[in-house]
């Protein structure tokens, strides 16, 4: 018995042990290479990516890919080592499959979170700092991961949204934002005069050094958008850089009020001039 044990040990050390060492060394080298590739590619791409958000998106995606690759390498290496040790992998794989199936049924939502989060990052659906509407809530993205997205709304409330709940993304700060203002005055005011005044105000704001970089195109005054109840409503369209529309609209409202007072434009109601924000539904 001792002789058989010694022969088996010698045979193992002579034939199987070197193979196990080779598998361990090969796995270690491949893991180091796999982890080095994202770092090297990140160094090459960081110069071309915008600072902050896009860098995080790139690093998150590469981190996920690296983690999956490392898991696959470790799993394959473990199977190779167990087979070299003479263990029967059939029952073990069957048990692992049953256990994995049970865990999968119990963690469907979590898996859905990670899959959805991966594609949100991969497709760059929104970035940190964007104002978005997802899962019935609207706010600014403060943090995002494969598991969830953290939003903060206008009154400071923090919303934690699981990525599995993100079905439709409405991003209001991607590339440019458009603001639609509706100016309501008395029906009897000359239309050409009102349009001309609004165009002059728009040109002033467009060429104001304080807003020149925030407005991406000329401010448009298409004309009358609605007539009724003794009043006429004029439409103004302004395209700005993301999140810059609020400051531009406030200054535009102020200038409209001062201009109408100076030119004695009759209000739509008793002592009132309406400047409506189409999106927010507010009047000034």
pLDDT for the residue 138 = 92
pLDDT for the residue 283 = 47
pLDDT for the residue 284 = 46
pLDDT tens track for 169-211: 999 888 888 888 999 999 899 999 999 999 999 999 999 999 9
Cα distances (angstroms) measured from residue 173 to each of 122, 128, 130, 131, 169 = 18, 11, 6, 6, 12
pLDDT for the residue 122 = 78
pLDDT for the residue 52 = 47
Low-confidence ranges of the chain (pLDDT < 50): 52-53, 271, 281-284
pLDDT for the residue 17 = 77
CB 79 within 8 A of CB 89: yes
Q: Who's near 149: CB < 8 A, 6+ residues apart?
A: 117, 120, 126, 134, 141, 143, 160, 161, 163, 166
pLDDT for the residue 20 = 82
pLDDT for the residue 27 = 87
């Amino acid at each position: 018995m001792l002789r058989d044990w010694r022969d088996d040990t010698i045979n193992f050390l002579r034939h199987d042990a070197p193979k196990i060492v080779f598998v361990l060394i090969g796995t270690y080298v491949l893991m180091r290479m796999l982890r080095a590739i994202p770092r090297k590619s990140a160094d090459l791409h960081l110069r071309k990516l915008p600072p902050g958000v896009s860098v995080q998106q790139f690093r998150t995606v590469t981190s996920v890919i690296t983690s999956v690759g490392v898991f696959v390498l470790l799993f394959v290496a473990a199977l190779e080592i167990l087979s070299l040790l003479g263990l029967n992998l059939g029952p073990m794989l069957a048990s692992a499959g049953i256990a994995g199936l049970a865990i999968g049924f119990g963690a469907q939502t979590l898996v859905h979170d990670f899959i959805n989060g991966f594609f949100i990052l991969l497709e760059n659906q929104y970035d940190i700092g964007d104002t978005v509407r997802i899962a019935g809530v609207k706010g600014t993205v403060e943090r995002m991961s494969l598991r969830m997205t953290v939003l903060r709304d206008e009154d400071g409330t923090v919303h934690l949204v699981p990525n599995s709940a993100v079905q439709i993304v409405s991003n209001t700060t991607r590339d440019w934002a458009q603001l639609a203002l509706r100016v309501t005055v008395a029906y009897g005011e000359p239309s050409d005069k009102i349009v001309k005044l609004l165009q002059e105000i728009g040109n002033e704001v467009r060429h104001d050094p304080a807003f020149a970089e925030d407005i991406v195109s000329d401010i448009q005054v298409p004309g009358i958008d609605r007539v009724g109840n003794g009043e006429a409503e004029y439409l103004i369209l302004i395209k700005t850089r993301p999140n810059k529309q609020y400051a531009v609209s406030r200054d535009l409202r102020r200038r409209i009020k001062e201009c109408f007072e100076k030119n004695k434009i009759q209000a739509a109601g008793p002592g009132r001039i309406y400047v409506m924000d189409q999106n927010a539904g507010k009047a000034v």
